[in-house]
Structure 1
């Protein structure tokens, strides 16, 4: 594959007036990288410039992947069946909307697939059932909020897609091995 030409993926970065990119960082992926950039810059530990450059490369790669259709078929996309949207695209959609109420039937219909076939292919692509996958993504999101904010646990549970705080705590403990308060305290000790 040839090297990327200047502004091939981001003509918005050409410097021309009125060019910009607007994205919503639902998974808080970018915020973690920018927090890490800020820490590297303010602490100025040995190798911080190299570390910052590496983080910026990750951010740019992430942005390119978000804004550019994937022209290379992956093994997951080969599972797409007769739908016009690749299966990896629907998984990416689920990943970025995991905190919202998603229905299997609606997702299957988005790619013109029966619910039964969708369930089978989803399990084959992810290695787990839809419900388990949703729980995992929601708890990952909650972990990012616990790590990067001081919000109340009840707010984080609601933001992560849980209406019942008790259910959130139960699932969190099952997946993470500790309750949300312990997770936050443990993470604070690693900074």
Structure 2
């Protein structure tokens, strides 16, 4: 089946360049407009391609975002895995899942670099901040059966730990082993979960 053709006159976006053109347009638009306000149609128009071609390559706005920001592990998939299982161990599963990726042999360096770029680049900070607000928080709330405020607190705790451990290198955090981090944070995150009054269906 042939790929959709470009609809913008004077712009070459054939098979060899269309994907790169879409990613370049997406990076610019996510940085300037944020996640929520960026549509696939707008990215397609900026890249000079049919909107169907964006879906063909990336599937969804979520998929496009993950590739545009070069996220080596999809944080939404991490949250889904963490939320799968007994609610009584959600705190431990969350810190285990995220530290596993941040310290992983194949993903750790790239993810720590991503965190650093988010802090230092206002465009990336805006894009990731909106992704966290409009994708990650609602997803955790839905999958884990907690309210939005609880989901916000849980995510802020996990990412706050990442900042002081991996980016700033605060000794009291950076000198701990991963097992020690899990042992410290798991039960305390669970206290936040247990204080949530949401009744799962």
Same fold (TM over 0.5): no
Asked which structure has the greater RCO (Cα within 8 Å, sep 6+), the reply is 2
Select the structure that is richer in helix. Answer: 2
What's the TM-score once normalised by structure 2's chain length?
A: 0.27
What's the TM-score once normalised by structure 1's chain length?
A: 0.28
